[in-house]
Amino acid sequence: MTDAASPSALLVTGAGSGIGAAAALAAARDGWFVHVTDTDGDAMAATLDAVHALGGSGAGHVLDVTDAAAVGRAFAAVRQGPGPLRGLFTAAGIDRGGPAHELEAAQWRRVLEVNTTGTFLVVQQALAEMMRGGGGSIVLCGSPAAQVGFAAGGATAYGASKGAISSMTRTLAVDYARYGIRVNAVVPGPTETPLMWAGVPAEEVDRMREQVAREVPLGRMARPEEIAASVLWLLSDGSSYTTGSLIGCDGGVLAKSSISV
């Protein structure tokens, strides 16, 4: 992506695990200077070690995306590092489900706080940075839950939080195109990460994994690296005419109706 003497910088939230970690590693391999951030300091450090182990360069920041002051401090640190900031991938997210009529208001608020407000706080800082630096590419993390109801149910808060990501993607793309900033979202299908099984009893995981695999047209769940490949494309000049798009990487989930006649 960049020449070694002056690498472009990328910040990844939620980079301690799953899709964010895979994207951080793929970006490091591609020559980005990667700011690895996560609220979990040990997980963040493990990803940063992996970045260094593969010969990449980066820096680590413990960052809770819901803490506006901490987000400001992280971007101040980014300004001190190699730059300019040309990329952002917002992978930080949580899934706390439950039927809507039983969902605690605090759960609802927390899911929207992390997935939607947290994304906004980080995007806001990145936009200012990229406007100063002459442009960049922002990749948000959507979900099929923004577009369809999940058969397993209980995704009201999560789906709403990701619906906001879909609309943010489009409005930001229109507003910031004039500054050379592209904004897209990757829409992952079921991907083998801890988030996928959040709230599923341990003894149920294997059965559910098999069921999910059967339901996906491609017949299996995604590996985080497969989602990362789409993120890297959206970050790269290879997608230079793509903005405001929700890029499905979902094994065909959104293409499928469950009605079989």
Ligand X SMILES: NC(=O)c1ccc[n+]([C@@H]2O[C@H](COP(=O)([O-])OP(=O)(O)OC[C@H]3O[C@@H](n4cnc5c(N)ncnc54)[C@H](O)[C@@H]3O)[C@@H](O)[C@H]2O)c1
232: contact with ligand X by CB under 6 A: no
**Does 8 interact with ligand X (rule: CB under 6 A)?**
no
196 binds ligand X (CB under 6 A): yes
Q: Per CB under 6 A, does 243 bind ligand X?
A: no
Residue nearest to ligand X (CB): 18
The residue assigned the tokens 């980066």 is 58
Concatenating the DSSP letter of every residue in 121-185 gives HHHHHHHHHHHHHT-EEEEEE--GGGTS--TT---HHHHHHHHHHHHHHHHHHHHHGGGTEEEEE
**Given the structure tokens 């995306």, which residue do they identify?**
65
Amino acid (1-letter code) at residue 159: G
Token pair of 190 as six digits: 């079921």
When the beta carbons of 92 and 130 are compared against ligand X, the nearer one is: 92
By beta-carbon proximity to ligand X, the closer residue of 2 and 166 is: 166
Residues with catalytic function? 158
Q: Is 141 in the site for ligand X (CB under 6 A)?
A: yes
Binding status of residue 43 toward ligand X by CB under 6 A: yes
- CA distances, 174 to each of 14, 42, 184, 220, 244 (Å): 26, 38, 11, 35, 7
Lay out the site mask for ligand X across 155-194 (x = CB under 6 A, - = otherwise): ---------------------------------x-xx-xx
Residue 155 CA: distances (Å) to CA of 29, 95, 115, 131 = 35, 8, 13, 36
**Minimum CB distance to ligand X smaller for 68 or for 131:** 68
Q: Interface residues with ligand X (CB under 6 A)?
A: 13-14, 16-20, 38-40, 43, 63-66, 91-94, 114, 118, 141, 143, 188, 190-191, 193-196
